Amino acid sequence: MGRMSAADRFYEWLLSDHPEAAAERARRRAAHLAYEARGREVLSRFVARTQANRGAPETVQRLAETAGWLLGRQADRLAAEVAEPEPERLARERRDLETSRRVQGAHGYRYPARYLGARAARQPIPPDPDRLAAGQESP
C-alpha cells in the first residue's frame, strides 16, 4: 500500500497521546454528543405530538412507534458509548485503525510508537483536511 492520505495521517495523530489531540478528541466528542441530543429532542417531540394526536394517519402513528423504539435503542447505545472509559475507547480505536490499514493492504501496519506517551507531544500536528476544505486553519 502507498502513502497514507492526509485524512488518515490526521486521524492517526488524533488518536495520539499529544495533548492537543486529546483536547481535539474531547471537543469533537462534546460536539457529537450535543448533535445526538438535538436529534433525539426533535424526534422525541415528533413522537409526543403524534401520540397526542389520535387523529393522525395510521402510517404516521406506526412511524412514531418505530421512532420511539429507535429512541430507546439509541439511548442504550449512547449510554454504553458514554460509559466506555477514554483509555479503553482510545485503545479500541487504535486497534480499529490498525485493522483498517491492514485490510487496505498495509499488512505490517502498527500504530506508531512516536504517538504514544510523552514523546507524542513533540510530534508535529498534521493539517486537518476538514478544516482545510472549509478554509480554516488546523488546531
Angstrom distance (rounded) from CA 122 to CA 112: 14
Domain carrying residue 11: 6-133
Torsion of CA 40, 41, 44, 46, to 10 degrees: -110
Per the domain annotation, does 1 fall within a domain? no
Cell of 21: 489531540
Q: 57 in a domain, yes or no?
A: yes
49 grid coordinates: 405530538
Answer yes or no: is 68 within a domain.
yes
The answer to whether residue 89 sits within a structural domain is yes
Residue 26 lies in a domain: yes
Does residue 139 belong to any structural domain of this protein?
no
Name the amino acid, one letter, at 67.
A
Average pLDDT over residues 70-90: 93
Q: How many domains does the chain have?
A: 1
Mean pLDDT (the chain) is 92
- Establish if 138 belongs to a structural domain: no
Residue 52 CA to residue 23 CA, distance in Å, equals 43
In a domain, 41, yes or no: yes
What pTM does this model have? 0.80
Q: Rg of the Cα trace of the chain?
A: 20
